[in-house]
Amino acid sequence: MRDQVIAGFRSRFDAAPAFVVRSPGRVNLIGDHTDYNDGFVLPAAIERATWIACAPRLDRRVAVHSAERGLAEFELDDLQPTSEWSDYVAGTLVELDIDLEHGFTAYLATEIAVGGALSSSAALEMGIARAAYELAGTPWDPVAAALAGQRAENDFVGMPCGIMDQLIVATAQEGAASLIDCRSLEATPASIPDEVTVVVLDTGTRRRLVDSGYEDRRVACERVAAALGVPALRDATLDMVMEANLDEVDRRRAIHVVRENAATQETAAALDAGDAVGAGRHMNTSHTSLRDDYEVSSPALDAMAEIARHRKGCLGARMTGAGFAGCAVALVATDRVDQFVSETAELYRAATGNQPTLYPTAPSAGVGLV
Ligand code: GLA
């Protein structure tokens, strides 16, 4: 891919790039819809990434050519939302606390399916952020960049996401997942035992989060936190949620968040103790909770998780990310991965008629120059 974006840059702009950035997607092992409740998440960066070849220019223009989506051009002094993919680029440039003196030219290509719940948008934002720091000669500040990327989504794109995706893409360490406290933004590496492998299970279904029920869920959580008199659902206990006078749907949303927060911390502890069986069990329970209480799964995600978890060597499987469509994730005994992938794909295809893509991934490093 590195050679490919360098070649793409040369043929598109008739010049050589100054540097190349690799910005990975992410898969979340457990802890979904907890980040905007100041809670815990356990994601890892994946091997698939967005690659950006970049060079400064003398004027204040930005020209970004996406291999998949074509050319977008704008002026640094006039960054406005256009409802196009390039809003992730322009929004990040607006929100970064960096003054670029000159514009830049970039050629990018991605291995991350768009709308597939692997954070293609955060990969693009953090890739552009990393490039901007390089262009400005400013020392890389992953947390500041992640917060800028989140503001770009919230305020420029109009997607009220939490901090998980940008933070893991900015800070991931090769070989480990990260237990992230989304209140303190502290990330602790959680090692994955060698005998198990993370497998991404793409259902072949897609969604646009801006149109989904994501915002409704977020608003419901804030409503419950206010009713309970706590700053965020991270501070609520199950007893508080069960005893309060709440709308029954809101109560189920809050039950998911409170349980998922505890399960996420327990999963990280289980992995660190080498207890992949315990971790897998939490992943299965989390899927049920996202399906029944939080109601963000889909028939395709349910079919994938269900089929996967009954295969030999599978310790746990669940939808990952926001939900509604896209990918699930499984923890699988390393010596069973090949058989797991072929059997799950075949049974899923037969059950749903959708074309899945399943692949193992090692936890990769976060965004960086390569
Ligand atoms: C999306 C958002 C994240 C997080 C997940 C659900 O990926 O961007 O902030 O809320 O959904 O866990």
Residues 172 and 264 occupy one common structural domain: no
Residue 222's CATH number:
3.30.70.890
39 pocket-lining for ligand 1 (C-beta < 6 Å)? no
184 shares its domain with 282? no
> Distance between alpha carbon 34 and the CA centroid of its chain, in Å?
13
Residue 166 Cα to ligand 1 midpoint, Å, equals: 10
On whether the CB atoms of residues 124 and 88 are closer than 8 A, the answer is yes
Domains: count for the chain: 2
Residue 153 CA, closest ligand 1 atom number: 8
> What global pTM score does this model have?
0.96
Inter-residue contact 349 to 355 (CB < 8 Å):
yes
**Is 233 in the same domain as 157?**
no
Residue 368 lies in a domain: no
Please tell me whether residues 183 and 198 are part of one structural domain: no
Q: Clarify whether residues 184 and 200 are in a common domain.
A: no
Q: How far apart are CA 150 and CA 26, in angstroms?
A: 15
Residue-range definition of the domain harbouring residue 268: 191-361
pLDDT at 114: 86
Same domain, 232 and 156: no
Residue nearest to atom 11 of ligand 1 (CA): 322
Q: What is the DSSP string of 274-302?
A: T-HHHHHHHHHHHHHHHHHTS----HHHH
Q: Is residue 271 a part of any domain in this protein?
A: yes
Domain boundary (165, 188, 211) is at 188
Q: Do 216 and 344 fall into the same domain?
A: yes
Q: List, edge to edge, every strand of the sheet that includes 368-369.
A: 70-75, 61-66, 104-110, 43-56, 19-28, 368-369
Kindly state if the Cβ of 113 falls inside 6 Å of ligand 1.
Answer: no
Q: Is 153 in the pocket of ligand 1 (CB under 6 A)?
A: no
For residue 329, give the amino acid letter: V
Report the interhelical angle of 87-95 vs 142-151 (nearest 10°): 120
158: CATH: 3.30.230.10
C-beta contacts of 244-248 below 8 A and 24+ residues apart: none
Of 142, 171, 188, the residue that ends a domain is: 188
Domain boundary among 167, 188, 209: 188
Compute, in angstroms, the gap from residue 47 CA to the centroid of ligand 1.
Answer: 19
240: exposed, middle or buried (Cβ count in 10 Å: 0-12, 13-18, 19+): middle
Mean residue pLDDT of the chain comes to 96
Q: What is the pLDDT of residues 123-143, one digit of tens each?
A: 999 999 999 999 999 999 999
Separation CA 142–CA 139 (nearest Å): 10
Atom of ligand 1 nearest to the CA of 36: 10
Q: Is the CB of 125 under 6 A from ligand 1?
A: no
Tens of each residue's pLDDT in the chain, 370 residues: 999 999 999 999 999 999 999 999 999 999 999 999 999 999 999 999 999 999 999 999 999 999 999 999 999 999 999 999 999 999 999 999 998 999 999 999 999 988 889 999 999 999 999 999 999 999 999 999 999 999 999 999 999 999 999 999 999 999 999 999 999 999 999 999 999 999 999 999 998 665 679 999 999 999 999 999 999 999 999 999 999 999 999 999 999 999 999 999 999 999 999 999 999 999 999 999 999 999 999 999 999 999 999 999 999 999 999 999 999 999 999 999 999 999 999 999 999 999 999 999 999 999 999 9
Going through the chain in order, the beta strands assigned E by DSSP cover 19-28, 40-41, 43-56, 61-66, 70-75, 104-110, 176-181, 186-191, 196-202, 314-319, 327-333, 357-361, 368-369
